[in-house]
């Protein structure tokens, strides 16, 4: 049966490669990926998938389903296809989207015989306001047994963890005045932002080493001789898990309120992007995928690396067994979010990555459908993780 999957991938490889290159040549930012979505969903429709767009009220999100006549597990492959400003597909989401679509189509060719359902979820805006967050909060994953996504990288790595993250905005309002003639009449909102940064810097000594707090001043006044009456700082606050992150955020917000009290400014706190939960890799599912990737790829697979970033796949992993491994582009040291990385996705190594990655994903889906004991172990691990988190 796995030999048939290999034939199916070869049958669609040329079209997948064309779509991958089209996404590279026409990069679209998050929630603006209309043409990218059309290319991916159009190919899925050609292969019998029922496609719904506008999922969770996101215009470029989609859910594509191929349901066999026989009962069985539901396997979900998650597609990303948003690009980055300035560098295009510097994170390789063109490859992510095409690998997931390829895996879904290949697996759909055998489910009539072995049973089950194949789902491909289009999840826009991972780089900024990931659609996997509302998908996880709503009912999208209720009937899904496992969820998988495969991310290109410099080398191949097993699925690991990620940091939970909140994107928080602090907006201070003060009062303008002439900064030289009558400064006593003003309330300096920028001073509040500066005290906020100072307070956060003092906090760093008293949090665990996994915590990351980094921010910018997005508004800070317009003229040196005018007391700024409005100033805004935006921060990403990250930690190893959601529970501890909530503690850290509480401390940061207390600092922010103290900074307002020091100057007399008023403060408004809000989230300017969706919050991401930490990634909880299902190790049983990860082991099954790693075994398949070793068979489809000629490159070594390295144990999970420490990840100080945040991904919306983390939210998915809290509601369904999930993995987020990395597949190598055969260039150790290649850096994400660069033009060099984007260019690598359309090289010969990129083509090899696309083929071997899609095949490994399809093989893993078939393993789960064919082996009830494997699915049982995956679900038991997921339930245990939910009890202990």
Cα–Cα nearest to 289, from 162, 110, 157, 388: 157
Task: Reply yes or no on domain 164-271 having CATH 3.30.70.360.
Answer: yes
Cα–Cα nearest to 46, from 81, 16, 1: 16
pLDDT at 210 over 70: yes
Share of the chain above pLDDT 90, in %: 96
Question: Which residues contact residue 241 at a Cβ distance below 8 angstroms, ignoring those fewer than 6 apart?
Answer: 164, 278, 389
Question: Which residues contact residue 143 at a Cβ distance below 8 angstroms, ignoring those fewer than 6 apart?
Answer: 74
**Whether 239 contacts 210, CB under 8 Å:** yes
Mean pLDDT of the chain: 96
pLDDT confidence tier of residue 309, bands split at 50, 70 and 90: confident
pLDDT at 335 over 80: yes
**Range of weakest confidence among 3-12, 124-133, 203-212, 380-389:** 380-389
pLDDT confidence tier of residue 306, bands split at 50, 70 and 90: confident
Residue range 154-174, pLDDT digits in tens:
999 999 999 999 999 999 999
Distance, CA of 220 to CA of 168 (rounded, Å): 17
pLDDT at 387 over 90: no
Residue range 12-41, pLDDT digits in tens:
999 999 999 999 999 999 999 999 999 999
The pLDDT of residue 118: 98
pLDDT at 385 over 90: no
333 sits in the region (left: phi over 0; alpha: psi -120 to 50; else beta) called left
Q: What DSSP state is assigned to residue 306?
A: P
Q: Where do we find the tokens 């989207």?
A: 97
Cα–Cα nearest to 151, from 170, 123, 131: 123
pLDDT at 201 over 90: yes
Q: Where in the chain is the domain with CATH 3.40.630.10?
A: 2-162+277-388
Q: Within the chain, where are the H helices?
A: 2-25, 34-46, 93-108, 111-114, 132-137, 189-203, 242-263, 283-296, 313-317, 339-344, 348-370, 372-388
355 sits in the region (left: phi over 0; alpha: psi -120 to 50; else beta) called alpha
Cβ neighbourhood burial of 42 (10 Å; 0-12, 13-18, 19+): exposed
Question: Which residues contact residue 129 at a Cβ distance below 8 angstroms, ignoring those fewer than 6 apart?
Answer: 30, 31, 273, 274
Distance, CA of 127 to CA of 29 (rounded, Å): 9
Residue range 128-138, pLDDT digits in tens:
899 999 999 99
Q: What DSSP state is assigned to residue 178?
A: B
The pLDDT of residue 206: 97
Opening angle at CA 335, ends 97 and 88, nearest 5: 45
Q: What is the mean pLDDT of residues 175-197?
A: 97
pLDDT at 113 over 70: yes
Max Cα–Cα distance, the chain, nearest Å: 83
**Whether 350 contacts 95, CB under 8 Å:** yes
Strand partners, 24: none
Distance, CA of 21 to CA of 97 (rounded, Å): 11
Q: And the tokens for 36? A: 């990218």
The continuous run of DSSP H or E covering 118 comes out as strand 117-122
pLDDT confidence tier of residue 386, bands split at 50, 70 and 90: confident
**Whether 343 contacts 92, CB under 8 Å:** no
The pLDDT of residue 284: 98
User: Looking at the domain that runs over 2-162+277-388, which CATH code has it been given?
Assistant: 3.40.630.10
pLDDT at 389 over 70: no
Task: Tabulate helix, strand, coil % of the chain (nearest 5).
Answer: 45, 20, 35
pLDDT at 150 over 90: yes
Strands 326-328 and 151-153: parallel
Distance, CA of 162 to CA of 310 (rounded, Å): 5
Q: Where in the chain is the domain with CATH 3.30.70.360?
A: 164-271
pLDDT at 360 over 70: yes
Cα-based torsion angle of the residue sequence 63, 114, 366, 5 in order, rounded to the nearest 10 degrees: -90
Residue range 51-108, pLDDT digits in tens:
999 999 999 999 999 999 999 999 999 999 999 999 999 999 999 999 999 999 999 9
């Amino acid at each position: 049966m796995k030999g048939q999957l290999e034939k199916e991938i070869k049958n669609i490889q040329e079209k997948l490669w064309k779509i991958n290159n089209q996404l590279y040549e026409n990069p679209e930012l998050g929630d603006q990926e209309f043409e990218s979505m059309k290319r991916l969903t159009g190919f899925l429709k050609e292969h019998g998938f029922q496609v719904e767009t506008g999922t969770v009220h996101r215009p470029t999100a989609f859910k594509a389903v191929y349901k066999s006549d026989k009962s069985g597990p539901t396997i979900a492959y998650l597609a990303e296809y948003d690009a980055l400003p300035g560098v295009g597909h510097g994170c390789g989401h063109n490859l992510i989207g095409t690998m997931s679509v390829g895996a879904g189509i290949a697996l759909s060719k055998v489910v009539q015989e072995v049973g089950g359902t194949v789902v491909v979820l289009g999840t826009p805006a991972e780089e900024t306001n990931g659609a996997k967050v509302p998908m996880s909060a709503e009912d999208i994953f209720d009937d899904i047994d496992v969820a998988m996504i495969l991310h290109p990288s410099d080398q191949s790595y097993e699925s690991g963890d990620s940091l939970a993250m909140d994107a928080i905005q602090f907006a201070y309002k003060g009062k303008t005045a002439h900064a030289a003639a009558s400064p006593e009449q003003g309330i300096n909102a920028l001073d509040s932002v500066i005290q906020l940064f100072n307070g956060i810097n003092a906090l760093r000594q008293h949090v665990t080493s996994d915590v990351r707090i980094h921010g910018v001043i997005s508004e800070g006044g317009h003229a040196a001789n005018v007391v700024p009456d409005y100033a805004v700082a935006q921060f990403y606050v990250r930690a190893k898990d959601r529970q501890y992150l909530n503690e850290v955020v509480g401390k940061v917000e207390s600092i922010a309120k103290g900074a307002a009290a020091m100057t007399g400014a008023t403060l408004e706190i809000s989230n300017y992007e969706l919050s991401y939960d930490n990634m909880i890799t299902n190790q049983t599912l990860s082991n099954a995928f790693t075994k398949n990737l070793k068979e489809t790829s000629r490159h070594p697979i390295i144990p999970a690396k420490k990840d100080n970033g945040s991904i919306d796949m983390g939210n998915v992993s809290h509601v369904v067994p999930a993995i987020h491994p990395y597949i190598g582009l055969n260039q150790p040291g290649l850096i994400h979010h660069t033009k060099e990385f984007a260019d690598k996705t359309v090289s010969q190594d990129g083509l090899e990555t696309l083929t071997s990655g899609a095949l490994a994903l399809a093989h893993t889906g078939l393993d789960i459908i064919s082996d009830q004991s494997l699915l049982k172990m995956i679900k038991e691990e997921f339930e245990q993780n939910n009890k202990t988190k």
